[in-house]
Structure 1
């Protein structure tokens, strides 16, 4: 039997049926602070985790940097997309400032230091693909944040504070 004959003899199942049988139906991730807490990220920032996909090493979250705050220098090992929700922010290494509604797209290998000098701080939705390497103020490697780091960040905080872990976040 040739390969085309073999393929035509396999039972055909419409895409819709395959999706029903094996696909994730999606999830609702509440945005309220009680069911989806802001997890501290250093002294000047917090992260509201939204989704984790261990199959693709991706995570979605909202980053909140308080006015006058910054996130240490970091290098992306994958593509990152962001939409600014509130306030303004930028990178010391670039000459633009992101404001509500602005879209930022970052390529693997880029390194920069995020800051917000907006008195009200900033909030931006990030979709992170791959790991991020963080460095200290002397440019020494500090740690790597990948999907597993973000999961641990969220789960550890929930467990330490008696909060229920939202399993719908694990897509």
Structure 2
């Protein structure tokens, strides 16, 4: 077998790729999709407290996975929370840090979080921050005394999205559900 040093073709054409389970995939897979994150066509900004909003991008109830863009609109805090699953985020705009760490994320920066860590998200940037994230598992939110306030998982995020849509006469987008 040859070692691949670059993709094998530069021709822009659909190739019929052999795959033994193609019919099963066609029958059972929800399929690929495109979600427009730049506009509100596919998903609106849903308020998340007084200074933040969430644009929900995907919900996978089978794996407790959810994807969104968190927008902290100016200097602010997303309170202390404990992740029970893996979190992967990319800073899209502004900057953000956790009080518990010594780094500051800037646009294009990758943030990786593992289960069992708690932290407090802060942005001092004048325009706040936007973070794209893929999150797995529940997130426990605590008050300033370490008392559990709420747990947000895929079901919480679905409810957050659907309640806002219903209350504002916005159609629920089936493309967000994997």
**Structure 1: 5+ residue stretches without partners:** 1-12
SS in structure 1 of the partner of residue 104 of structure 2 = coil
Q: TM-score, normalised by structure 2?
A: 0.86
CA distance in 1, matches of 2:145, 2:118: 14
Deviation at 1:25, TM superposition (A): 1.4
Where in structure 1 do 4 or more consecutive aligned residues deviate above 3 Å?
Answer: none
Deviations 1:41-85 (A, max 9, x none): 011111000000000000000000122111010000000000110
**Structure 2: 5+ residue stretches without partners:** 1-18
Asked if 2 retains the 8 angstrom alpha-carbon contact of 1:66 and 1:116, the reply is: no
Deviations 1:113-144 (A, max 9, x none): 00110001100101000000000112111000
SS in structure 2 of the partner of residue 139 of structure 1 = coil
Report the aligned-residue RMSD: 1.2
Q: How many residues align?
A: 159
Q: TM-score, normalised by structure 1?
A: 0.90
The aligned counterpart of 2:85 is 78
- In the alignment, does 2:113 pair up with 1:106? yes
- In the alignment, does 2:63 pair up with 1:56? yes
More helix by share: 1
The aligned counterpart of 1:16 is 22
The aligned counterpart of 2:158 is 151
